């Protein structure tokens, strides 16, 4: 006899575990299927989470939290700096493996079932349910499927969920490093076309150093490690390398008959930082709730499941859209313009104070709205930047 579930979630990353937790919590018989032997492996993350991401995780402080961050230094291509440091923690560095395992335990505590070492190979939609074919030949049935497969999302694509607008190439090493301030992240602009480079201190003597580029992340990372500002502080060889894609610009539709896509599979990543955990967790809660309700009502139609698409866009759509514009704007700026921007902002003490007080990596648009008050650029420069932002 084939096992039948209300909701099957593919992938036990942060989005999958949270979606399974919320589906089970809403009374659906839920199964979570993960192809690896455990959650959180291989690590494809810098592990930097803002206040809202930590709150959305619903986890109590535990061994997954390594330490708190209070500020950042933004470096322009020629080395101009913008420094800020708040009086309270603004973000935390986590051990992604332990973080993902803690989220998975949360799903199991609400009654979700788990199968590890279980790769879903194919989904066939029947009238009111889907058959999931597993590697090894076994099949299970589910009324609603949630794809939380991550960036590649092969099954979601085959089911009709469109790919994101761009997939950036991320690469990072963990390396012995002379850290300037263990409570400050470094952001390096202009190191590769795509996003930026980062240094995330783990303690005074080691850091995660990485970047996101439009393509060939590893090659750009090699060049970044050779730049003066980084090279002179390297104190040994890398002890770990993480690579992975970062989807930016969510899919046009994230629900089709019988299936929802969530997290990286749906392109729910902040285009200003490449952070996917916060938006993934927010959307996963909505996905779990809608999937459970639809399964219990016996209505897995695209029309019913589009409630998920509407609700997550109401919660995150504007933030991701503004983020895409900022990402595009930074991508179009020359190194000289980035130097000018950083130099200009560094000379505005009231603006730096606003960043220290209101900086929020999960909802950067709130800070941007405040920052506008402190800008007094001449009209030509402002028009040029707005032109970039509006594409
Ligand atoms: C270099 C780099 C640095 C990053 N740094 C940060 C950061 O500092 N902060 C942040 O918020 N985000 C960061 N991100 C993004 C973040 O890692 C992702 O957004 C996040 O992991 C997405 O979670 P997810 O649950 O959607 O997918 P994933 O975490 O990718 O999980 C998908 C799961 O699905 C499983 N799976 C896939 N296919 C199948 C299948 N067919 N059957 C069964 N299981 C399957 C996989 O094994 C995996 O466990 C970074 C990404 C990169 C590449």
Give the model's confidence band at 43: pLDDT under 50 very low, under 70 low, under 90 confident, else very high.
Answer: confident
Span 247-275, average pLDDT: 95
Ligand 1 center to 386 CA (angstroms): 33
Span 145-156, average pLDDT: 97
Ligand 1 center to 277 CA (angstroms): 8
Domains of the chain, by residue range, sit at 3-45+96-163+251-317, 63-92+166-247, 327-389
pLDDT for the residue 226: 96
Span 224-248, average pLDDT: 95
Span 30-38, average pLDDT: 97
Bridge partners of 156, per DSSP, are none
pLDDT for the residue 183: 96
pLDDT of residue 318 exceeding 70, the answer is: yes
Ligand 1, atom 50, residue with closest C-alpha: 45
pLDDT for the residue 371: 66
Enter the pTM of the model. 0.94
Ligand 1 contact via 41 beta carbon (within 6 Å):
no
Give the model's confidence band at 328: pLDDT under 50 very low, under 70 low, under 90 confident, else very high.
Answer: confident
pLDDT for the residue 10: 98
Ligand 1 contact via 12 beta carbon (within 6 Å):
yes
Q: Which of 36, 246, 271, 287 to mutate to test the pocket of ligand 1 (most atoms within 8 A of CB)?
A: 246
pLDDT of residue 7 exceeding 60, the answer is: yes
Ligand 1, atom 15, residue with closest C-alpha: 276
What is the tens place of the pLDDT at every residue in 336-377?
A: 989 988 988 888 888 888 888 887 778 777 766 666 666 665
Ligand 1 contact via 263 beta carbon (within 6 Å):
yes
pLDDT of residue 140 exceeding 70, the answer is: yes
Find all residues with CB under 8 Å of 133, minimum gap 6, and list them. 120, 121, 122, 123, 124, 139
Ligand 1, atom 18, residue with closest C-alpha: 276
Ligand 1 contact via 362 beta carbon (within 6 Å):
no
pLDDT of residue 44 exceeding 90, the answer is: no
Ligand 1 center to 92 CA (angstroms): 18
Q: What percent of the chain has pLDDT over 70?
A: 94
pLDDT for the residue 127: 84
Q: Using the atom order of ligand 1, give the atom closest to the CA of residue 280.
A: 26
Question: Does the CA dihedral 316-317-323-327 come out positive or negative?
Answer: positive
Ligand 1 contact via 267 beta carbon (within 6 Å):
no
For the structural domain made of 63-92+166-247, what CATH number should be given? 3.30.9.10
Ligand 1 contact via 45 beta carbon (within 6 Å):
yes
Q: What percent of the chain has pLDDT over 90?
A: 77
Lowest pLDDT segment from 70-74, 102-106, 222-226, 328-332: 328-332
What is the tens place of the pLDDT at every residue in 169-195?
A: 999 999 999 999 999 999 999 999 888
pLDDT for the residue 384: 62
pLDDT for the residue 329: 84
Ligand 1 center to 258 CA (angstroms): 23
Ligand 1, atom 27, residue with closest C-alpha: 150
Ligand 1 contact via 276 beta carbon (within 6 Å):
yes
Give the model's confidence band at 383: pLDDT under 50 very low, under 70 low, under 90 confident, else very high.
Answer: low
Report cis status (omega within 30 of 0) of the bond before 148: no
pLDDT for the residue 326: 86
Ligand 1 contact via 172 beta carbon (within 6 Å):
yes
Ligand 1 contact via 46 beta carbon (within 6 Å):
yes
Ligand 1 center to 153 CA (angstroms): 11
Ligand 1 contact via 119 beta carbon (within 6 Å):
yes
Q: Which of 12, 45, 197, 220 to mutate to test the pocket of ligand 1 (most atoms within 8 A of CB)?
A: 45
Ligand 1 contact via 148 beta carbon (within 6 Å):
yes
Span 257-283, average pLDDT: 96
pLDDT for the residue 347: 86
pLDDT for the residue 389: 52
pLDDT for the residue 387: 57
- Between 386 and 198, name the one with better pLDDT: 198
Ligand 1 contact via 210 beta carbon (within 6 Å):
yes
Ligand 1 center to 82 CA (angstroms): 31
Span 211-222, average pLDDT: 95
Ligand 1 contact via 44 beta carbon (within 6 Å):
yes
Span 1-12, average pLDDT: 93
Ligand 1 center to 340 CA (angstroms): 35
pLDDT of residue 286 exceeding 80, the answer is: yes
Span 93-101, average pLDDT: 96
Ligand 1 center to 48 CA (angstroms): 13
CATH 3.30.230.10 fits 3-45+96-163+251-317, yes or no: no
């Amino acid at each position: 006899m084939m096992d039948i579930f209300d909701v099957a979630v593919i992938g036990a990353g942060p989005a999958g575990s949270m979606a399974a937790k919320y589906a089970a919590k809403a009374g659906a018989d839920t199964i979570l299927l993960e192809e690896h032997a455990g959650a959180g492996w291989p690590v494809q993350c810098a592990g930097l989470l803002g206040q809202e991401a930590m709150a959305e995780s619903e986890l109590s402080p535990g061994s997954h939290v390594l330490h708190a961050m209070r500020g950042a230094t933004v470096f322009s291509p020629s080395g101009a700096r913008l420094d800020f440091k708040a009086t309270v923690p603004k973000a935390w560095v986590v051990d992604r493996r332990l973080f993902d395992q803690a989220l998975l335990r949360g799903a199991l505590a609400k009654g979700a079932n788990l199968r590890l070492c279980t790769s879903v190979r194919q989904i066939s939609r029947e009238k009111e349910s889907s058959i999931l074919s597993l590697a090894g030949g076994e099949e299970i049935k589910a009324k609603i499927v949630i794809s939380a497969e991550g960036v590649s999302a092969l099954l979601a694509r085959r089911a009709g969920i469109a790919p994101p607008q761009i997939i950036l190439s991320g690469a990072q090493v963990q390396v012995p490093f002379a850290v300037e301030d263990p409570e400050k992240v470094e952001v390096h602009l202009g190191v590769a076309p795509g996003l930026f480079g980062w240094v995330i201190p783990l303690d005074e003597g080691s850091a995660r150093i990485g970047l996101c580029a439009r393509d060939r992340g590893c090659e750009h990372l090699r060049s970044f490690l050779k730049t003066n500002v980084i090279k002179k502080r390297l104190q040994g060889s890398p002890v770990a390398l993480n690579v992975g894609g970062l989807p930016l610009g969510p899919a046009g539709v994230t629900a089709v008959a019988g299936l929802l896509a969530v997290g990286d599979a749906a392109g729910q990543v902040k285009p200003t930082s490449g952070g996917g955990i916060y938006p993934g967790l927010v959307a996963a809660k909505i996905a779990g709730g809608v999937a459970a309700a639809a399964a219990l009502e016996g209505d897995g139609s695209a029309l019913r499941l589009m409630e998920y698409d509407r609700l997550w866009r109401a919660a995150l759509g504007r933030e991701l859209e503004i983020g895409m514009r900022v990402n595009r704007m930074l991508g179009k700026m020359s190194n000289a313009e980035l130097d000018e921007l950083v130099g200009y902002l560094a000379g505005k003490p009231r603006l730096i104070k606003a960043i220290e007080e209101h900086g929020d990596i999960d909802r950067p648009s709130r800070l941007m709205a405040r920052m506008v008050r402190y800008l007094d650029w001449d009209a030509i420069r402002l028009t040029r930047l707005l032109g970039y932002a509006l594409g």
